[in-house]
Structure 1
Amino acid sequence: MKINKLYRLFTLVCFALFCFCNQTIAQTKGTEVNATVIDEQGNPIMGVNVFGPNGVQAITNVNGQFQITLLGDESVVIQKRGYESELISISDLLDNVTLEKSPFLATEDDQIEMGLVSKNRRENIGAISSINTKDRLKYDNTQWVRDYINGLMLGVKGSSNVRGLGNAIFVIDGVIGRDPNVLNMEEVDQITVLRDANSVALYGSQGKNGVIIINTKRGKTNRKEMNFNVRSGLRTPIALPNYVGSLDYMELFNEARLNDGQDITFLPSDIDPYKNNPNKYQYPDVDFYSNEYVKPFVNSTSVTAEFSGGSDKSKYYVNAGWNHNESWVSINPDANAGSNRINVRGNIDFVVNDWITSSLDGIAIIGSNKSSLSNLLSAGTTFKPNSYVPLLPVNMVDTIGNPALAGQVKAARIYDGMLLGGAQQFQDNTPVANAIAGGYQNDVTRTTQFNNSINFDLDKITEGLSAKTYLSFDFYDSYKLSVENKYSVYQATWEDDKITALEAFGDVDLKDLTENVRTNGFVSRIGFYALVNYEKTIAENHSLNATFLGYYNSTNSNNVLQKDIDSHLGFQLVYDYKKKVFVDFSGTYTSSIKLPEGNRGGFSPTLGLGYILSEESFLKNSNVIDYLKLKASGGIIKSDQGIDEYYLYSETYSNGGTFNWADGQSSNRRQSLDQGENLNMGFEERIDLNIGFESYLMSSLWVEFNYFRTELDKQLAFLSNKYPSYYNTFRPYDNFNNNKYTGFEIGLNYNKTINDFSVSFGANILYSETEVIKRSESYEFDYQNRVGKETSTIFGLVDQGFYSETDFDIDTDGNYMLKDGLAVPNFGAVQPGDIKYLDQNGDNVIDNDDNVAIGQSSSPWTYGVNLNLKYKSFNLFILGTGQFGADAITSNSYYQVNGNDKYSEVVLGRWTPETESTATFPRLSSGENANNFKTSTFWMYDTSFFKINRAQLTYEFDKDVCRSVGMKEFSMNISGTNLFEIAKNRDIRQLTIGGTPQFRAFMLGLRMSF
């Protein structure tokens, strides 16, 4: 695949769509229509949008009047926020058009498309939050869905964890389980998060941890639009690993050897040349994170084009996008070309007849990430700085004093004046040579998706009856294209800063002319659901809305015999009284083939209640409370999503050893029972309660509060303590574990406009406390029980600093012996500078029985804040997120430098007799030191932080100026991401070891609408 060809195709498609959508209808003389838009009291309404066919548009003036030219018997859409929209034909367009005012939170913009069903915000009684992207993208131009969710959506930790229960299921355009990473934000119309059991009930088993719904944009009647968004900028690493250089490494490793009572490895003659600005090619000091191998900044570019429009008979929406990220590795740019992604989406809605409408959606995405065969970022964590020089300059080869070298150099492959360096003892460790000469790999992913919905208006059967079918097909394919070349590396012999001999290792230089193809995976999915809906108003004050649903989803992966199948039947019965009292009884009957026969079905009932208190007479005329709704919900969601495998209810056997029989003349293989049978295994259960309110105060402040209590009960567990240890092979899986999650969430949004200045401030706060209620456990000491502690509790030893020389006696052989009365570690011999631990049980031994709860990995407090300031044509948006109350362990070799590991900067704070009072790292050791690298408070750090995720300054050009050049809108913006962070352990949080670093990005963007 040639990505340049795809880019040219992308450009051609956008140009063709632009030309198609920009065609103008021959301007024959039409009918000039004049009318006035008024409200129900006869008052003129200013600023009403009137949309005619082919992009014709008008806006009412201060007197509510508009003028528009129409061809034939065409229709116009009359629309203003806060009023019910009208579609009126020219023959019905009288002098006055009356718009009815919509109830608060019941306008067209307040409609929440919840994947399977839809309702407006006013009628919502669950813990649901929703964001429309229509206007936000102008001033918050992030391109990825997960970035948009983080910090803006109430009740979500990060981008998908709802209330700490785990990762929610994503529903995209009504299809459950699709990947949000394939979307760009320009094609997204609305994001909705369902958090309580009543809200997620219709999603059955898959909705256990919450549901995040994403709806893409669709064409609108008489709304012809062409939008272009171009962003380009630079990304620079926030933090890079810092390993010690060759001189420090050799001296420190010698120190480690002496600490172990061993001879030094590096002699003074090895070390001294490094002290006086040596020839770096003869005396290597290699750092793969330096500018010699990686770039100080890289380019990132994205281009998106949108085309939409239609009539009352058919509508369309097309989105085409291209995204490119330059590789951070600087060597061999042909191989390290970076990533490219191209996406095309088409959504079509059309009328079949007077009682059937339908939609067709098609999505195609192709991504490519081309890189060399060697991962320098990973190799940099282990490649010692003094190992050898990866590149040897040809101009330092002494071909005059050693004429034989001339032919050797001429026969070798030269790369930018360099020979590929190596060494005899490192023949299998040549990351730079492999990156330059080894070839390349191109990881390609392809995604195609198709949807079709058919809507039936069955009013002819009975008023209020409708039905819908929805069919989807998804195909995900990934493969790797690679070329693997053979090459030679050279070890140099030096004299007087000249190379006097070259010894070759490896293979003879040979380019592979064949591009290899390896399939990494193929996944296909088919989904279908059908629903019937009935709406009925009884005696004006009573309304009933009933929905019945059947759902099926099947996922098939290559090399996996068993399909993943999810299916359920669902219903939703909603009653309301005067649109102020709501009752929602929803549930599903779920089926699972992961459970034994007889237990494969389960009913999940939920109930929701809502009461709009502000509709009562004692609040209706309040000057403070404009809107107040009380709500409560509860229910049980039965799920098999926590059951990772099939047939866990069955006995399983494995091949054991052999036994002899017939006096040893014959033998048979023994079969061993590994797992017991449990035909009573059932669904896991989410037991949920949510109580809250929503309020709008003083026409400026929105407040939402929810208290929640959730139990994840009957979780599947391997019952290790059900039988005595000598019967351990009979242990079955059973529904046993139980976790509890309690907490609250608060959402605030404040909006105020004063003349040309407006301010919008939002805050989301989530507190989620967890507790283990039930576990199959049997610990000797109560402090090690998991029950009663947080579900993410970290267990480890409590450190008491370092052993000092006064803690030891020295025997006749010069060995350190702990003084009497001090607890003896069970992890190996210790000496001064090793970590000392607290003896929790007083048995004078430090072992695993001294592990206690030392922290928790999941943060109980999560929050996000956003600020939007607008003055005339300027707009400033800032988003910040944070958390506190959680911990983590620095567990990789960068921090826990053990034995022969490469030394990072953290070892500079090592313990020595001279630094005993200030040391931040244990004594160095050249061997494995099991005592120092146990999970303990010594290696634990606080993960609390507050960061500015992104900020954007936008300038919108005057609309009259835009119209004069043929545009509706034009804006410029400059934005930054990962701009600032406050954290006690910021240096640890921002550092990525062995992979692509975290970047700080600065982008310049242009947005155009036609």
Structure 2
Amino acid sequence: MKINKLYRLYALVCFTIFCFCGTVTAQSTGTEVSATVVDEQGNPLSGVNIYGPGGSRASTNDNGLFNIMLPNDEAVVIEKKGYESQFISLSTVTGNITLVKSDFLASEDDEIKMGVSTRDRRDIVGSVSSINTKDRLVYDNTQFVRDYISGLTVGVRGSSNIRGIGNALFVIDGVFGRDPNVLNMEEVEQITVLKDANAVALYGSQGQNGVIIINTKRGSVNKREVNVNVRSGIRTPIALPNYLSAAAFMQLRNEAFANDGLDPSVVGFPQEQIQNTRSGLNPIEFPDVDLYEFVQPFINTTNVISEFSGGNDKSQYYVNVGWLYNENWVNINEDINAGSNRFNVRGNIDFRVNDWITSSIDGVAIISTSKSSRANLLNAATTFIPFDYAPLIPINSIDATNNPELQTLLVGANTFDGNLLGSAQQIGVDAPVALAIAGGYQDRRFRVTQFNNSINFDLSGITEGLSAKTYLSFDFFDTFTTSIRNQYRTYGVTDWVQNDGVDPLRDFGEDRRDLSENVASNGFVSRVGMYALLNYEKTFASNHSLNTTFLGYYNSEKRDGVLQTDRDSHLGLQMTYDFKKKLFVDFSGAYAHSLKLPEGNRGGFSPTVGIGYILSEEPFLKDSDFVNYLKVRASGGIISSDRGIDGYYLYDENYSDGASFGWADGLFSNNRQNISQGANPDMGFEERIDLNIGFESYLMNSLWLEANYFRTELDKQLGFLADQYPSYYNTFRPLNNFNANLYTGFELGLNFNKTFNDLSVGIGANVLYSQTEASKRSETNEFEYQNRQGLELSSIFGFEDLGFYSESDFTADTDGNLVLNSNLPVPNFGAVQPGDIRYADQNGDNVIDQDDQVALGQSASPWTYGVNLNLKYKRWNLFILGTGQTGALGNKLSGNFNNYYAPNGNDKYSEVVLGRWTPQTANTATFPRLTSGDNQNNFRTSSFWLYDTSFFRINRAQVTYEFADTLCDKIGVEDFSLNFQGTNLLEVAENRDIRQLNIGGNPQARTYTLGIRMSF
């Protein structure tokens, strides 16, 4: 199997080099042309790049001179960072070629692609952050898009939550709602985050929570490039759950019986069984099984990506082809647990139709497969009791002497490495190891197909500065599972003879191979999107400019098994005026239409306004050596949205079936129809009310600094009014636009870049503080401390724990039973004993019940930050990225944590129970007393089960070596580099052991890869 993987890798790399090596070594033929490039003052410019047809290229020397071979006197592209590029025919040049210096943040490298439009960085009024991937992937070679967003973008919590408001809308190549997980970073050119209302207004209702825009690469005129990126390495589990051994489990289970007043010698485990299990006397008769022994210590991962781009002034192309492989964590039956493979192909084509029409066609195809056994061993390991049975029974342990029936059974038995598949009577054929070995396989597959086409119209023939664009996209996503579901026989031990052999065996099920592959559809999604826009850009009287965009958008999404098709549509308008390119005023708005609202209320207007002023253009700062650039900005507005309305027809009365009534001696019956929700014909849009104040600056020619203060309120959210009707009219309550959430905070980002001789230093940091509040709620709680209004949105409600009950909290009655002292409040969740969790009586009624729950903390971190370091010395490069958060709490009773950190009743015991309460450990215990039943008191959300989730993590680090040009010339490549990268390398946290542990699924992994990058 592993040899086949190497063949795939080898074949793909060889195919790439074979097909495109000719384009590298081919020499342009024609006439050698020379010219000199100067700036506006006539000074020669060195390092100017010249690109000719057929992949020819040249650079200017210190005198601004270049020589290039050109066939048939074709045109060349001339460009240098910070200057406006030119596309000219050298035969028309008389004298020197003059490049015009771009305004600061207004060059081609400073263009921000905002989904439906493109603006220069300095012209943007709203709060926008952007990352260009050009040259960055050489030293930060991750291929997961979300990894680039997390820690590197200002104002984003995680990889999609902007300012803590909620999941943002992703716009990929102008298409709303596409999934970034289908991309590899090699095909991404730029990632842009739109944060305030003014920036997102053009995206209508869907842009309520902010927008993350991703643009893929495209071909360039006269720039023929072939890039190959190969990475391969290993992934190691950071942590695995640690459950107690069989003997320790039985010992503590007996303690639990005793705590409940039961006799362990009657209902528990005999000491002889415990001792025999602990000593390993006979692992078949006394098994001690840990299913995590089937988890590999490391798995292989390989990623190969090739990309090709180029073109001329008539057409350009970009192609990306990739393969990603990850091995399966479970090492049983390698052919079945084959792991996952992902193949992707992207093609982006731009072409000119005539002098005033250009067009582009993009196509994407992705196929992903994940083949594994039908058993989920990592999930089964959380519940598999270690002494239940041996999952594998060695054939040589079975004594079939003088037992013809057993001999016949063994002859026809399927074996695995000399073992029978073990089980027990209560398990039968559902034993997880047996299912993994003999039960067949399942192959989960998903396929993505995307197509989009844009047509651009230059309408300057009508009036100068007028243009139009149409855009059409089709997306199809389907996922299905193919499987072979074999039947198989398992065996259980029923008795033992004195020589430790098995006699006899009991078998369950039968061996029967599934001869046909089963196919089950898991879902299908189709999406159609389209928009048309009209743009007018004009400069008047040299100092006044106007840029206006009018947009009409429609999108529909249909899901398999869902009757209602989701539809979004809106009209958008953006008008930006600037004076001398230093004072900018922007009005952006949208008029949205929603089918989720009643007729008459289906339209909503979203007005926003923003202003920006470049202070560094003023005389008092224009010649400053400290302040190179400074822009202050402010924006505000309202976004009307239906994004928080999670259903259709919620404005209508809803009915449900009630009690059944029969007649005709029970021959007929009918259900009563009950009203379950009242009607609200006035239901309207939710509103985002937004204020943003900030600045961005460039200082000392080395430090980029930006900051924003924001105040966002999501108002008129749907909810039931608690005080609208008496409680006995609850079923008549309609949904109303009443609730409101408030988000306030600030964000700060900086990037410092400086070169000291051969050493280049880059330091980046960003901080987000976002505090939320339930600013308006309808509540009728008896006690004020139970109200949510005024509290953090992610507030965790529960009981305040006061430690464990001690033995002094009880007295014995005449029968010797423990009775809680009368001066202590009585829990309403059943009888308690010493070692149970004691809760605070918040309302003083001497009873512990639901009325004593209070806000204990918040689950969302208000503070999020990221730091990165990039050091380059000669040809060596070191990059490190770290992220962190602080100020939040986690709950050990939530999700899959529950049976690990809080095992109750018959749950499997993990290592946490070693800190259980006993009379001897009363002062040091970290876990309640053990109980054999279902304890209703201890395992409730309380401060006892909360933990601090603060952390700082080294997400990834990479060392890169770039080979010298002389070597690259010898081997026929343009650039060649080696890199070694590690991810999830280090985490500093008080509760790191909790944070890094996955329970019931694949473990968190630390990855080490070695990679090569080649450019031709």
Q: Residues 871, 424 of structure 1: CA spacing in aligned structure 2 closer, same or farther, 3 A cutoff?
A: same
Tell me, in whole angstroms, the C-alpha distance in 2 between the residues paired with 1:14 and 1:548.
49
- Is 2:802 the partner of 1:800? yes
More displaced stretch, 779-788 vs 7-16: 7-16
Within the candidate set 925, 950, 967, 1:919 is matched to: 925
Aligned to 1:569: 571
TM-superposed CA distance for 1:272, in Å, is 2.3
TM-aligned CA deviation for residue 332 of structure 1: 1.2
Q: Which moved more, 1:963-972 or 1:419-428?
A: 419-428
Identity, in percent, stands at: 66
Q: Is the 8 A contact 1:810 1:816 kept in 2?
A: yes
1:501 to 494, 500, 503: 503
- Hey, what does 1:653 align to over in structure 2? 655
Alpha-carbon offset, residue 728 of structure 1:
1.2
Matched residues in 2 for 1:961 and 1:926: separation? 71
Unaligned runs of 5+ in 1: none
Does 2:413 align with 1:432?
no
Work out the CA distance in 1 between the residues paired with 2:942 and 2:670: 48
> Does the Cα contact within 8 Å between 1:243 and 1:903 map onto a contact in 2?
yes
How is 1:617-628 mapped onto 2 (pairs within 5 angstroms)?
A: 617-628=619-630
Secondary structure (helix, strand or coil) at the match of 2:917 reads coil
Q: Quick check: 1:371 aligned with 2:368?
A: no
- Whether 1:752 and 2:754 are equivalent positions in the alignment is yes
Kindly state the Cα deviation for residue 16 of structure 1 after the two structures are TM-superposed. 6.8
1:277 is the counterpart of 2:294: no
Given residue 292 of structure 2, which amino acid in structure 1 is its aligned partner? Y
Q: Which residue of 2 aligns with 1:961?
A: 967
| 2:914 is equivalent to residue 908 of structure 1 | yes
Change (3 A) 1:880 1:16: closer
CA drift at 1:503: 2.6
Question: Offset at 1:657?
Answer: 1.0
Aligned twin of 1:857: 859
- What is the deviation of 1:345? 0.2
Judge conservation of contact 1:969–1:1009 (CA < 8 Å) in 2. Answer: yes
Counterpart pick for 1:554 among 552, 556, 565:
556
CA distance in 2, matches of 1:67, 1:299: 48
Structure 2 unaligned residues grouped into runs of 5+ = none
Residues 822-870 of structure 1 show CA distances to partners (whole Å, capped at 9, x for unaligned) of 0100111100000001111111111111101101000000000000000
Contact 2:826 2:846 in 1 (8 A): yes
Does 1:135 pair with 2:140?
no
The 2-side partners of 1:339 and 1:174 are apart by 30
Match of 2:838 in 1: 836
Distance 2:419 2:512 in 1: 18
Cα gap change, 1:670/1:766 in structure 2, threshold over 3 Å: closer, same or farther? same
State the one-letter code of the partner of 2:542: E
The 5 Å alignment of 1:440-455 reads 440-455=441-456
Q: Deviations over 1:954-1003 (max 9, x none)?
A: 00001221012110000000010000010000000000010001000100
| Alpha-carbon distance in structure 2 between the residues aligned to 1:18 and 1:201 | 49
The Cα offsets for residues 576-629 of structure 1, whole Å up to 9 and x where unpaired, read as 000000000000000000000000000000001000000000100111100000
Distance 1:75 1:412 in 2: 77
Letter in 2 for 1:425: Q
Q: 2:1002 is matched with which residue?
A: 996
Match in the other structure for 1:488: 489
5 Å-filtered alignment, 1:348-747, equals 348-400=349-401, 402=403, 404-427=405-428, 429-492=430-493, 493-496=495-498, 498-659=500-661, 668-747=670-749
- Residue 307 and residue 11 in structure 1: after superposition, are their counterparts in 2 closer, same or farther (change >3 A)? farther
Is the contact between residue 762 and residue 867 of structure 1 (CA under 8 Å) also seen in structure 2?
Answer: yes
Relative to structure 1, the CA distance from residue 12 to residue 910 in structure 2 (aligned partners, 3 Å threshold; closer, same or farther) is closer
For the 8 Å contact 1:219–1:308, the answer to whether it is kept is yes
Instruction: Tell me, in whole angstroms, the C-alpha distance in 2 between the residues paired with 1:916 and 1:593.
Output: 61
Asked whether the 8 Å contact 1:17–1:307 carries over to 2, the reply is no
Question: 1:32-43 to 2 correspondence within 5 Å?
Answer: 32-43=32-43
- Which residue, out of 275, 287, 291, partners 1:288? 291
The match for 1:982 among 988, 991, 995 is: 988
8 A contact 2:28–2:56 mirrored in 1: no
- How many Å separate the matches in 1 of 2:404 and 2:870? 72
Give the Cα separation in 1 of the matches to 2:586 and 2:448: 38
Q: Deviations over 1:421-462 (max 9, x none)?
A: 011122254000001000100000000000100000001000
Q: Which residue of 2 aligns with 1:782?
A: 784
Flag the 1:454–1:665 CA change in 2: closer, same or farther, 3 A.
closer
Alpha-carbon offset, residue 277 of structure 1: 3.4
Q: Give the 3 Å change call, closer, same or farther, for CA 331–497 of structure 1 in structure 2.
A: farther
1:494: Cα distance to partner? 3.0
Query: How far apart, CA to CA, are the structure 2 residues paired with 1:500 and 1:997?
Result: 37
Q: 1:144 corresponds to which residue?
A: 144
| Aligned counterpart for 2:945 among listed residues 925, 939, 943 | 939
Q: Distance in 2 between matches of 1:307 and 1:662?
A: 78
Q: Using the TM superposition, give the Cα deviation of residue 908 of structure 1 relative to its aligned residue in structure 2, in angstroms.
A: 0.4
Secondary structure of the residue that 1:931 maps to in structure 2?
Answer: coil
Alignment partner of 2:1012 out of 990, 1003, 1006 = 1006
Does the Cα contact within 8 Å between 1:282 and 1:497 map onto a contact in 2? no
- Tell me whether 1:879 sits opposite 2:885 in the alignment: no
What is the alpha-carbon distance in structure 1 between the residues aligned to residue 496 and residue 969 of structure 2? 72
Q: How far did residue 500 of structure 1 move? A: 3.0
SS at match of 1:491: strand
1:449 & 1:29 partners in 2: Cα distance?
A: 40
CA shift, 1:299, in A, is: 0.4
- AA of the residue aligned to 1:386: F
Helix, strand or coil at the partner of 1:299: strand
The equivalent of 1:101 in structure 2 is 101
Are the structure 2 counterparts of residues 13 and 588 from structure 1 closer, same or farther at C-alpha, using a change threshold of 3 Å?
A: farther
Name the CA distance, whole Å, in 2 between partners of 1:18 and 1:602: 57
Question: In the alignment, residue 438 of structure 2 is paired with which amino acid?
Answer: A
Query: What is the one-letter code of the residue matched to 2:679?
Result: E
Change (3 A) 1:738 1:7: farther
2:944 aligned partner, one-letter code: F
Q: CA 1:929–1:577 in structure 2 vs 1: closer, same or farther (change >3 Å)?
A: same
Which secondary structure state, in structure 1, belongs to the residue aligned with residue 384 of structure 2? Answer: coil
Which amino acid is the alignment partner of residue 583 of structure 1?
A: V
Contact residue 397 and residue 405 of structure 1 kept, 8 A: no
Quote the offset at 1:124 in angstroms.
1.2
SS, match of residue 566 in structure 1: strand
Do the aligned partners of 1:396 and 1:497 also contact (CA within 8 Å) in 2? no
How far the C-alpha of 1:69 sits from its partner, in A, is 0.8
Deviations 1:38-83 (A, max 9, x none): 0000000010001111110101101111000100031111111000
Aligned equivalent of 1:260: 260
Please give the secondary structure, in 1, of the residue aligned with 2:502: strand
Change in 2 beyond 3 A, CA 1:799/1:535: same
- CA contact 2:280–2:286 (8 Å) conserved in 1: no
Structure 1 pair 18–609 and aligned structure 2 pair: CA distance change class (3 A): farther
Change (3 A) 1:879 1:665: closer
SS in 1 for 2:45: coil
Q: 1:823 to 1:29 in 2, by over 3 A?
A: closer
- 8 Å Cα contact 1:18-1:226 kept in structure 2: no
1:214 aligns with 2:217: no
How many angstroms apart in 1 are the aligned matches of 2:695 and 2:334?
A: 57
**Counterpart of 1:223?**
223
Q: How far did residue 668 of structure 1 move? A: 4.1
Coordinate RMSD, CA, aligned: 1.9
Tell me the distance in 1 between the aligned counterparts of 2:245 and 2:576. 69
Quote how far apart the aligned CAs of 1:718 are: 2.4
- Tell me the secondary structure at the aligned position of residue 300 of structure 2: strand
Distance of aligned partners of 1:497 and 1:208 in 2 relative to their CA distance in 1, 3 Å threshold: farther
Q: 1:10·1:342 contact (CA, 8 Å) conserved in 2?
A: no
Shift of residue 495, structure 1, vs aligned partner? 3.1
Aligned to 1:995, the other structure's residue is in SS state coil
What is the CA–CA distance in structure 2 between the aligned matches of 1:385 and 1:79, rounded to whole Å?
69
Question: How many angstroms apart in 2 are the aligned matches of 1:781 and 1:444?
Answer: 52
